[in-house]
């Protein structure tokens, strides 16, 4: 199968915090709002649990985009987790941009449990962005490519 | 004996690359290492020591062994193919060539390492006499003659020319393939060059290093010496010395999971690392002193004990140049010398 | 240097310290090694010259576990690292007698070699007492000269200043060596296109041989067991089969020391392949300075590190795309 003819189906990883964003995704589902099946959600206890290594690992194993969702700043279930996460992700994304990885491939959005609509819209726009960027070739591990 | 003008070298490389893979010193981002030749590669045969040795051409830092794939309920195992393409390594120095001899004794004795053996079968070595040896060199100590590398083809740099002499069948075959670019020459210029090199070697600070006391029988005497406790202290436990070394041959075998398949590969290991020879029960070398001692004992005692007295150091001096904290095998040898009879 | 030796002898003699951590003369003109001295007579090998570039702070982690005090020679930039280690409870201030040594810029043998100077027998002008701005180098291929500044480590050209952050006493003079801004290179890279940036880092990191020298020398990398050494961690930490592992290692290494890295420059000094590793650390430092306010790790032992701190108004990660 040659790569040129293969239709691009992006793999997108979404880290969602247990208390807000994952519940937001639930709400999106129960409200029958749609978002593309390309998004694979990984539930984490708090956005602060997301280690920069998680993001890089996802890219290594073949993700084309990684998005992290958490409670709105100030609303963290653990009070301050997302504040730390915010600084970490800002620095990490800046570093990825610095080494030449397209910066649209990573994103952070704050989605509360009441924001099913926002969740669906966020995922739709992120997936669209990844479609426009195409396959991730700069951060993957060759051994994971078929 | 043949010769070729230096300005015709790119034509020579192009010609070799037509029928064989060609590895030679290439400069990338300021550092010279062995790499595959290509039209736009910045070939650098003037640098005496590449950062890594040419070991990679025969024993790559990482190489796949086999891949296990799962399709439905079926599991298939695909071994990695052995090297089948002939290749040439151009520009190896006498010490690196001797390094291959050290590796041969390990990998070609029973049980033979098939990956290494295939590469040795298909590889032709064009060795280059050292034009300007440096202060970190001590090859003579291990019986290496920098002016006369013994390999398939030997070349000498004299002025604007490269003198070429085939020494083996493989070397003759390569010479035949590139004959159109070579012209016959007598060996007067080469003899003069050899003499010059020998004179320079005489004056190098490390060339008269004594290996007295280092042999396969010195095991317990050296092993139990209190000197190691002093020597290892500034060691960072990094793997620089082992990875730039032309004779270090230890490797680790690991698995890499790519979801639907697992590839088993081997990669160089370093006795300086804490997970070196790690087993289920833990590690048999628990301190950095023990790991540090292992490296030098292996080079100067264990290896000679198993290989008729041949040392597994060839005096290339890469560790002397590259150790971040300026430790090296020469300092170790000297430390034992200075402490003489003390136990 | 003699002043240092004399002081070391006094401190050993009156029992203030049990050992001295300094440098031992090498067997070539440029390879002194970090060493401990426990007796006055061992100090005949003590040396302090332009090639004593190693940051001895890291050794103090181990020395802090030993009986008695250790006299340690720290250059101005090393004291930042020491402070940072105090802050992280990795060294014991009471176990150290810090002699702040003057610094006139440290030399890099690689830079001398890069100028085509080889077969070095003797180097004059690297001694601290020398005011010479030129190195006279005697080689087997003739006498050479090299400007002191041209042989200096990269970090000395962007020196943080010659003031010691922590010390018990000071010995020796310093010379200003700074002649460039440390963020110049980072800023230049930032303006490149993604393709150019990627090509640049790909080329540099393709040289990495996974020797871990950068990690092991780093005073901020003080974990007892590094995540990359864990056998349970799915990483090909010794393989350089593929460029991804190298990228991940260097990004994560820099990330783990972000906000704690004092920019001592040891990682770049020790890299056998000459990879400019400081470019990773400085990128984080530059971002931290710009986004969360100027911060110099190791300048004090009380302030909160940027990554264990926050404000409600912090920039959102989307700022990365907007800064241009």
Min Cα distance A144 → chain B (Å) is: 5
Range of the domain at C254: 184-322
Query: What gap in Å lies between CA C212 and CA C272, rounded to an integer?
Result: 10
Cβ-based interface (< 8 Å): residues of A facing B: 61-62, 141, 143-144
Interface of A with C (CB under 8 A): 52-53, 56, 60, 73-74, 80, 83-84, 86-104, 106-108, 138-143
The whole-angstrom distance between A8's CA and the closest CA on chain C is 21
Residue % of chain A over a pLDDT of 70: 95
The H or E element containing residue A122 is: helix A116-133
Chain B residues with CB under 8 Å of A140 CB are: none
Q: What is the pTM of this model?
A: 0.93
Q: Does residue C216 lie in a domain region?
A: yes
Residue A7 lies in a domain: no
Segments of chain A scoring below 50 in pLDDT:
1-3, 5
Q: How far is C301 from chain A (nearest CA, A)?
A: 21
Q: Indicate the residue of A60, A92, A139 with minimum beta-carbon distance to C255.
A: A92
Q: Specify whether C66 is located in the same domain as C150.
A: yes
Name the minimum distance, in Å, from the CA of B40 to any CA of chain C. 14
Q: How far apart are CA B181 and CA C173, in angstroms?
A: 61
pLDDT, greater one: B259 or C290: C290
Instruction: State the Cα torsion A83-A84-A85-A91 to the nearest 10°.
Output: 110
Query: Do A100 and C201 count as a contact with CB atoms less than 8 A apart?
Result: yes
- pLDDT for B255 equals 87
On whether any CB of chain A is under 8 Å from the CB of B258, the answer is yes
Q: Tell me the pairing of strands C19-24 and C33-37.
A: antiparallel
pLDDT by 10-residue block (mean), chain B, 343 residues:
94 95 95 94 94 95 92 92 95 96 96 96 96 94 94 94 95 95 93 94 92 90 93 93 96 87 91 88 90 95 94 95 94 86 43
Domain, as residue range, for A139: 12-144
C56: nearest CA in chain B? B234
Residue of C nearest to A82 (CA): C310
Give the separation between CA B273 and CA B339, rounded to whole angstroms: 28
Got the DSSP string for B180-209?
A: GG-EE--SHHHHHHHHHHHHHHHH-TTTT-
Q: Do both C221 and C290 map to the same domain?
A: yes
Whether B274 and C273 lie within 8 Å, measured CB to CB: no
Tell me how far apart the alpha carbons of residues C178 and C155 are, in angstroms, rounded to a whole number: 9
Integer Cα distance of B312 and B271 in angstroms: 15
Å from C240 to nearest chain B CA?
A: 6
Cβ <8 Å between B256 and A62: no
* Residue B72 confidence (pLDDT): 87
Digit-coded pLDDT (tens) for C56-71: 999 999 999 999 999 9
Both tokens of residue C45?
A: 């090998």
Distances C150 to B231, C54, C107, C113, C153 between C-alpha atoms, Å: 32, 19, 9, 11, 9
Evaluate whether B9 touches B162 at the Cβ level (below 8 Å): yes
Which residues in A lie closer than 8 A to residue C287 (C-beta atoms)?
90-91, 94
Residues C141 and C270 in one domain: no
* C198 touches A: beta carbon within 8 Å: yes
How far apart CA A65 and CA A143 sit, in angstroms, is: 19
Task: Kindly report the length of chain A.
Answer: 146
Eight-class DSSP state of C111: H
User: To which H or E segment does residue B308 belong?
Assistant: none
Q: Which residue of B has its CA nearest to C242?
A: B62
- Sheet strands (E) in chain B: 2-5, 21-28, 31-36, 62-71, 74-79, 87-92, 123-128, 153-158, 161-166, 183-184, 251-257, 261-268
Distance of alpha carbon B274 from alpha carbon C55, whole angstroms? 23
C179 assigned to some structural domain = no
Nearest to A114 by CA among A6, A12, A28, A38: A28
pLDDT of C305 strictly over 90: yes
Rounded CA separation C59/C36 (Å): 10
In DSSP notation, B60-88 reads -SEEEEEEEEEETTEEEEEEPPPP-S-EE
SS3 state at B29: coil
Which residues on B lie below 8 Å from C207 (Cβ)? 28-29, 31, 33, 51
Partner-chain residue, chosen from C251, C306, C318, that has the shortest CB–CB distance to A56: C251
The yes-or-no verdict on residue C132 having pLDDT over 80 is: no
CATH number at residue A129: 3.40.50
Q: Which residue of C has its CA nearest to B332?
A: C27
Q: Does C196 touch chain A (CB under 8 A)?
A: yes
Q: Are the beta carbons of B331 and C234 separated by less than 8 Å?
A: no
| Span B114-172, pLDDT tens digits | 999 999 999 999 999 999 999 999 999 999 999 999 899 999 999 999 999 999 999 99
Helices C243-256 and A81-98 cross at an angle (nearest 10°) of: 130
Chain A interface includes B180 (CB < 8 A): no
Q: Which of C171, C197, C227 is the last residue of a domain?
A: C171
Q: Does a structural domain hold residue C178?
A: no
pLDDT at B144: 95
Residue whose pair of structure tokens reads 């993001």 in the numeric block: A55
CA–CA separation, C183 and C192 (whole Å): 15
**Residue ranges in C31-190 assigned as alpha helix (H):** 59-63, 76-87, 109-114, 154-157, 184-190
Alpha-carbon span B277 to B285, nearest angstrom:
8
Q: Closest Cα of chain B to A131: distance in Å?
A: 23
* Separation between Cα atoms, residue B56 and residue B96, nearest integer Å: 11
Q: Which of C22, C280, C267 is nearest to C154 (CA)?
A: C267
Contact residues, chain B, for A143 at CB < 8 Å: 256, 258, 263
Domain boundaries, chain B: 2-203, 219-338
CB-CB neighbours of B79 under 10 Å: 11
Please return the burial class of B332, using the count of CB atoms within 10 Å of its CB with bins 0-12, 13-18 and 19+: buried
Q: Give the mean pLDDT of C74-93.
A: 96
Task: Kindly determine whether residue A142 and residue C242, on different chains, have CB atoms separated by under 8 Å.
Answer: yes
Test B28 with C217 for CB contact under 8 angstroms: no
Residue C18 corresponds to which tokens in the numbers above? Answer: 């049990």
Contact assessment for residue C21 and residue C82, using Cβ atoms and an 8 Å cutoff: no
Closest CA to C262 of C119, C142, C85, C11: C85
Take residue C34 and report the two structure tokens written for it.
């970090």
**Alpha-carbon distance B173 to nearest alpha carbon in chain C (angstroms):** 32
Give the relative orientation of helices C243-256 and A52-60 as an angle to the nearest 10 degrees. Answer: 170
Give Dmax over CA atoms of chain A in angstroms: 50
Task: Retrieve residue A36's tokens.
Answer: 């593309």
How many separate domains does chain C show? Answer: 2
Picking from B184, B151, B145, B155, the residue whose alpha carbon sits closest to that of residue B168 is B151
Helix extents (H) in C22-142: 59-63, 76-87, 109-114
Q: Distance (Å, rounded) from C-alpha B232 to C-alpha B290? A: 9
C-alpha to C-alpha distance for C125 and C145, rounded to whole angstroms:
10
The whole-number pLDDT of residue B341 equals: 46
Cα of A65 to nearest chain B Cα, Å: 18
Instruction: Report the residue of A58, A82, A95 to disrupt the C interface, i.e. the one with the largest count of C CBs within 10 Å.
Output: A95
Of C50, C56, C294, the C-alpha closest to C182 is: C294
Indicate whether C177 belongs to any domain. Answer: no
pLDDT, position C236: 63
Of C190, C307, C312, the CB nearest to A98: C190
B71 touches A at CB < 8 Å = no
Residues of chain A contacting B255 with CB distance shorter than 8 Å? none
**What was the pLDDT predicted at A1?**
38
CB pair distance less than 8 Å for A107 and C318: yes
Reference B325, options C139, C116, C54, C244; nearest CA is: C54
Contact A83 C287 (CB under 8 A): no
Q: Do the Cβ atoms of C49 and C76 come closer than 8 Å?
A: no
Is the pLDDT assigned to residue C128 strictly greater than 80?
Answer: no
Per-residue pLDDT, A140: 80
Q: Which helix (H) or strand (E) holds B58?
A: none
- Residue % of chain C over a pLDDT of 90: 84
Residue C129 lies in a domain: yes
| SS3 at position C20 | strand
Model pLDDT, residue C244: 76
Residue A87 maps to a domain: yes
User: Does C149 fall in a domain?
Assistant: yes
Q: Is residue C176 part of a domain?
A: no
Tens digit of each residue's pLDDT (9 = 90 or more) over B243-266: 999 999 999 998 888 888 898 999
- Report which of C270, C187, C291 is spatially closest to residue C221, judged by C-alpha positions: C270
């Amino acid at each position: 199968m040659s790569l040129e003819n293969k239709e691009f189906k992006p793999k997108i990883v979404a880290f969602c915090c247990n208390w807000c964003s994952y519940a937001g995704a639930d709400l999106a589902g129960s409200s029958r709002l749609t978002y593309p099946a390309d998004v694979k959600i990984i539930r984490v206890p708090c956005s602060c649990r997301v280690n920069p290594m998680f993001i890089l690992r996802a890219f290594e194993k073949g993700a084309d985009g990684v998005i992290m969702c958490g409670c709105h700043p100030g609303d963290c279930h653990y009070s301050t987790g997302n504040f730390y996460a915010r600084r970490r992700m800002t620095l990490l994304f800046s570093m990825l941009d610095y080494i030449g990885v397209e910066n649209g491939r990573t994103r952070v959005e704050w989605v509360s449990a009441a924001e099913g609509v926002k969740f669906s819209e966020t995922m739709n726009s992120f997936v669209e962005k990844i479609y426009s960027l195409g396959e991730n070739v700069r951060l993957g591990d060759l051994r994971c490519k078929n | 004996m043949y010769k070729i003008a230096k300005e015709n070298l790119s034509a020579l490389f192009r010609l070799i690359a037509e029928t064989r893979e060609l590895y030679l010193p290439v400069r990338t981002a300021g550092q010279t290492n062995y790499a595959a030749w290509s039209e736009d590669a910045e070939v650098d045969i003037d640098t005496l020591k590449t950062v890594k040795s040419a070991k990679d051409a025969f024993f790559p830092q990482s190489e796949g062994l086999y891949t296990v794939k799962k399709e439905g309920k079926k599991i298939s195992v695909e071994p990695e193919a052995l090297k089948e393409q002939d290749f040439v390594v151009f520009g190896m120095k006498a010490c690196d060539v001797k390094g291959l001899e050290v590796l041969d004794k390990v990998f070609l004795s029973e049980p033979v390492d098939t990956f290494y053996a295939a590469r040795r079968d298909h590889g032709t070595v064009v060795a280059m006499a050292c034009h300007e040896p440096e202060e970190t060199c001590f090859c003579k100590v291990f019986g290496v003659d920098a002016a006369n590398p013994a390999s398939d083809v030997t070349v000498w740099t004299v002025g604007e020319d490269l003198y070429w002499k085939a020494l083996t069948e493989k070397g003759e075959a390569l010479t035949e393939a590139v004959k159109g670019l070579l012209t016959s020459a007598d060996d007067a210029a080469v003899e003069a060059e050899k003499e010059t090199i020998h004179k320079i070697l005489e004056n190098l600070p490390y060339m008269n290093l004594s290996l007295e006391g280092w042999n396969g029988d010195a095991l317990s005497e050296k092993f139990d010496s209190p000197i190691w406790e002093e020597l290892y202290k500034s060691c960072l436990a990094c793997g620089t010395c082992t990875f730039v070394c032309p004779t270090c041959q230890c490797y680790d075998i690991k698995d890499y999971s790519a979801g639907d398949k697992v590839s088993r590969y081997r990669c160089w290991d370093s006795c300086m690392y804490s997970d070196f020879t790690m087993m289920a029960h833990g590690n048999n070398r628990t301190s950095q002193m023990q790991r540090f001692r292992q490296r030098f004992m292996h080079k100067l005692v264990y290896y000679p004990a198993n290989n008729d007295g041949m040392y597994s150091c060839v005096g290339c001096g890469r560790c002397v140049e590259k150790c971040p904290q300026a430790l090296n095998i020469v300092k170790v040898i000297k430390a034992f010398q200075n402490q003489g009879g003390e136990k | 240097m003699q002043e240092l030796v004399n002081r070391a002898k006094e401190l050993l003699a009156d029992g203030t310290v049990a050992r001295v951590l300094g440098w031992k003369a090498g067997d070539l003109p440029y390879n002194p090694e970090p060493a401990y001295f426990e007796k006055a007579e061992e100090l005949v090998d003590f040396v302090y010259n332009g090639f004593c570039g190693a940051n001895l702070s890291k050794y103090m982690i181990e020395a802090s576990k030993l009986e008695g005090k250790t006299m340690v020679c720290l250059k101005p930039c090393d004291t930042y690292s020491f402070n940072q280690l105090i802050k992280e409870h990795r060294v014991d201030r009471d176990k150290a007698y810090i002699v702040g040594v003057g610094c006139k810029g440290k030399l890099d043998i690689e830079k001398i070699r890069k100028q085509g100077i080889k077969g070095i027998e003797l180097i004059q002008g690297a001694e601290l007492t020398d005011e010479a701005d030129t190195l006279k180098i005697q080689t087997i291929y003739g006498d050479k000269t090299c400007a002191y500044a041209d042989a200096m480590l990269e970090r000395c050209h962007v020196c943080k200043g010659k003031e010691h952050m922590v010390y018990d006493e000071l010995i020796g003079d310093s010379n200003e060596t700074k002649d460039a801004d440390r963020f110049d290179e980072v800023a230049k890279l930032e303006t490149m296109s993604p393709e150019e940036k990627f090509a640049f880092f790909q080329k540099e990191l393709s040289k990495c041989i996974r020797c871990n020298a950068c990690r092991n020398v780093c005073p901020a990398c003080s974990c007892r067991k590094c995540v990359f050494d864990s056998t349970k961690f799915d990483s090909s930490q010794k393989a350089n089969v593929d460029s991804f592992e190298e990228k991940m290692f260097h990004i994560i290494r820099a990330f783990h020391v972000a906000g704690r890295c004092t920019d001592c420059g040891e990682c770049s000094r020790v890299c056998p392949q000459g990879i400019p590793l400081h470019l990773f650390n400085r990128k984080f430092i530059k971002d931290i300075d710009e986004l969360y306010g100027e911060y110099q790790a190791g300048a004090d032992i009380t302030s909160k590190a940027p990554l264990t701190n926050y404000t409600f108004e912090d920039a959102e990660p989307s700022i990365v795309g907007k800064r241009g």
